A and B are shown apart, each in its own frame.
Chain A
Amino acid sequence: MIDKTVADVATAVADIPDGATVMIGGFGRAGQPVELIDALIAQGATDLTIVNNNAGNGDVGLAALLAEKRVRKIVCSFPRQSDSWVFDELYRAGEIELELVPQGNLAERIRAAGAGIGAFFTPTGVGTQLAEGKETREIDGRTYILEYPIKADFALVSALKADRWGNLVYRETARNFGPIMASAATTTVVQVDGVVPLGSLDPETIVTPGIFVDRVVAVGERRWLRDGEFIGGVDLEGNAK
């Protein structure tokens, strides 16, 4: 019997070693696997390379991992935000390396890694600083730059629900980088609000097939809080309540 569920978030991230490259899903706070990141903070791995669209928000999740000085390098498209003070301070102090990648190239490089593509030519970034030193080629009269895949040792992803085979369903714009990151890592760890019985997910609506998923951990239905006050939540059908 295949059962990819693990008991808790600590078990799910226990073997992430120092120096690992870790993809972390999410766009801002939407889809950020906060419970898995908290477990990674507690676990202690350091000298990490993190791949995420952003560089943390506020003082929780990815920002908290950065604040612990456990990240050597971050690969992202949009580090600077109104609430990215943790990253800003580390960057200005020269304590973190930044590889800035246009967002579509970031997504496609991750997708390429998962799809077994060796490299690809993209028009995004041509003629800009972010293309400096990169190979170019003219194809049908247009200039493209060569971009390489981004692979990871681990991906930490958040989804709405899963079955024990690791089939995933996401919710709204929290899907973002989840499906492509799940495909691009040697070991993909997914936190879900809940695990449902095998066969209860409609095969027509599964977004990430379980072949891309190694571990699933249920973290419970989410409660949305604002300033500590309960303002709603979401059930396993994805309905707000």
Chain B
Amino acid sequence: MTTISRNELAQRIAADIPEGAYVNLGIGAPTLVANFLPEDQEIILHTENGLLGMGPAPDADHIDPDLINAGKQAVTALPGAAFFHHADSFGMMRGGHLDVCVLGAFQVSQTGDLANWSTGAPGAIPAVGGAMDLAIGAKAVYVMTDLLTKTGESKLVASCTYPLTGVGCVTRVYTDHAIFDITPEGFVVREAFGDNTVESLRELTGLDLIAAEEH
């Protein structure tokens, strides 16, 4: 089955973010989305460590250790940027002020539960960061992930087996095979890439997926 690359997926997510949106891109793969936001539109990026109006990474000669993102990588502050302390930053999340966040996932359930912070494996060191606040706080919670694990299991599941990050919080899942909306009836295939079909996706996930035209 056709899959799209991580950059293509980031570009696809970027195309769904409207001008004027306040957006948090978490850490890791979702931060790629920033590379594809249209330059002629004003979309304001929030980073949990106290910055609205985050810009791209600086060149090597202009790295500023005081100016970093949630992944602790060097970033820049765009004209119009604002700094604030941590309680305000998480108030922006919890208080429902962010329009969109994009998070990675280990599993997403058909009722929108998200598991993305711990596999629960013995001996693993747990770390949650801001994931639980983002998951329940943003108006729209987008997940960016491969559909399948490295060993071929579906990350879309009837119910999560990994420890939860948030309950019923995911709006939409962007995968390398297709885009899925979470609805009260379950996963709806919003868009299938390449030669993927609702039927082939049902086989891959083992789930009773709903075709968009049937929803």
Report yes or no: A128 in contact with B132, Cβ–Cβ below 8 A.
yes
Interface, chain B (partner A; CB < 8 A):
47-51, 62-68, 72, 77, 83-87, 89-91, 93-94, 113, 118, 123, 125-133, 136-137, 163-167
- List 5 additional contacts besides A127-B167, A176-B49; criterion CB under 8 Å: A79-B125, A100-B127, A107-B85, A173-B49, A175-B83
Report yes or no: A124 in contact with B50, Cβ–Cβ below 8 A.
no
Report yes or no: B127 in contact with A80, Cβ–Cβ below 8 A.
yes
Q: Contacts A80-B126, A81-B72, A128-B132; is A177 near B165 (CB within 8 Å)?
A: no
The 8 Å CB contact of A102, one of B83, B84, B123, B132, is B132
Q: Contacts A77-B127, A127-B164; is A107 near B90 (CB within 8 Å)?
A: yes
Report yes or no: B125 in contact with A122, Cβ–Cβ below 8 A.
no
A114 to chain B, nearest CB (A): 9
Q: Which of A6-14, A25-33, A60-68 contacts B (4 or more CB under 8 A)?
A: A25-33
Report yes or no: B90 in contact with A173, Cβ–Cβ below 8 A.
no
Report yes or no: A173 in contact with B47, Cβ–Cβ below 8 A.
yes
Report yes or no: A30 in contact with B86, Cβ–Cβ below 8 A.
no
> How far is it, in angstroms, between the C-alpha of A185 and the C-alpha of B115 when the chains are bound?
34
Interface residues of A in 163-221 (CB under 8 A from B): 170-180, 207
Chain A interface mostly helix, strand, loop or mixed? mixed
Q: Which 4 A-B pairs have the closest CB atoms?
A: A104-B90, A104-B133, A127-B167, A80-B127
Q: Contacts A179-B85, A180-B87; is A30 near B132 (CB within 8 Å)?
A: no
- Interfacial chain B residues near A235, Cβ < 8 Å: none
B137 to chain A, nearest CB (A): 7
Chain A 90-113, CB-CB to B under 8 Å as 1, else 0, gives 011000001011111101101100
> How far is it, in angstroms, between the C-alpha of A29 and the C-alpha of B72 when the chains are bound?
8
- Interfacial chain A residues near B84, Cβ < 8 Å: 175
> How far is it, in angstroms, between the C-alpha of A175 and the C-alpha of B126 when the chains are bound?
26
Interface centre among B64, B126, B128, B166 (most CB of A within 10 A): B128
- Interfacial chain B residues near A129, Cβ < 8 Å: 118, 163-164
Q: Contacts A77-B129, A127-B164; is A103 near B85 (CB within 8 Å)?
A: no
A118 to chain B, nearest CB (A): 17
Report yes or no: B66 in contact with A176, Cβ–Cβ below 8 A.
no
Report yes or no: A127 in contact with B86, Cβ–Cβ below 8 A.
no
Interface centre among A124, A231, A240 (most CB of B within 10 A): A124
The 8 Å CB contact of A173, one of B83, B91, B132, is B83
